[in-house]
Amino acid sequence: MKNLHPSTHENSAECHSGFTLVELVVAFGLFTLFFSGLFALYRAGSNMFLTGSWKLNKQKEAERFLALLKSRLEQASNLTRIDPDRPSSQQVGTAIAPIYMMDNLTVTPSAAPLKLLLFTVSKPDLSHPKIAGSQGLRLAHAIWLVPQTVGFGELQLFASNLACASLTSPQNFPPDASSLGGDFSAPPSAFQLGPNEFQATLGDVESVGVTWGTASGTGISDAGKTIGLVVNLRNPKHRDTSFSQTVQSRIAPDLQIHAFKNLGEF
The pLDDT of residue 218 is above 60: no
Judge whether 19 lies within some domain: no
Residues forming beta bridges with residue 141, ordered by sequence position? 119, 159
Q: What is the pLDDT of residue 17?
A: 59
Task: Please give the share of the chain, as a percent, with pLDDT higher than 70.
Answer: 79
Q: Name the more confident of 5 and 88.
A: 88
For residue 90, how far is the Cα from the chain centroid? 41
Judge whether 38 lies within some domain: no
**What's the whole-number average pLDDT of the chain?**
83
Q: C-alpha distances in angstroms, 45 versus 12, 178, 236?
A: 49, 62, 19
The pLDDT of residue 57 is above 90: yes
Q: What's the CA dihedral at 63, 123, 253, 73 to 10 degrees?
A: -20
Judge whether 83 lies within some domain: yes
Q: What is the pLDDT of residue 219?
A: 47
Q: Name the more confident of 199 and 266.
A: 199
| Total domains, the chain | 1
**144-177 b/e with 16+ CB inside 10 Å = b?**
bbbbeeeebbbbbbbbbbeeeebbebeeebbbeb
Q: What is the pLDDT of residue 45?
A: 61
Confidence of residue 77 (pLDDT cuts 50, 70, 90): very high
Is the separation of the CB atoms in 118 and 100 below 8 Å?
A: yes
Q: What is the mean pLDDT of residues 104-116?
A: 89
Q: What is the pLDDT of residue 25?
A: 74
For residue 48, how far is the Cα from the chain centroid? 24
Read off the DSSP letter of residue 125: B
Q: What is the mean pLDDT of residues 113-123?
A: 93
Q: What digits encode the pLDDT tens for the residues 6-35?
A: 555 555 545 555 668 777 777 777 767 766
Q: What is the pLDDT of residue 168?
A: 74
Judge whether 33 lies within some domain: no
Judge whether 209 lies within some domain: yes
The DSSP line for 137-196 is: EEEEEEEEEEE-STT-EEEEEEEESS--GGG--STT-S--GGGGT---B--GGGGT--SS
Q: What is the pLDDT of residue 68?
A: 96
Lowest mean pLDDT among 160-174, 225-239, 247-261: 160-174
| CA atoms within a 13 Å half-sphere pointing along the CA-CB vector of 190 | 16
Q: How far apart are CA 189 and CA 178, in angstroms?
A: 22
Judge whether 193 lies within some domain: yes
Q: What is the pLDDT of residue 20?
A: 83
The pLDDT of residue 3 is above 70: no
Q: What is the mean pLDDT of residues 164-189?
A: 83
Residues in the chain: 266
CB burial of residue 257 (10 Å; 0-12, 13-18, 19+): middle
Q: What is the pLDDT of residue 266?
A: 44
Query: What residues have CB less than 8 Å from 164, skipping those under 6 apart?
Result: 140, 158, 197
Full residue range of the structural domain in which residue 96 is found: 45-265
Judge whether 103 lies within some domain: yes
Q: What is the mean pLDDT of residues 91-105?
A: 89
Residues forming beta bridges with residue 228, ordered by sequence position? 211, 248
Please tell me the pTM assigned to this model: 0.78
Candidate ranges 46-50, 51-55, 65-69, 128-132; pick with highest mean pLDDT: 65-69
Task: State which amino acid sits at residue 88.
Answer: S
Judge whether 8 lies within some domain: no
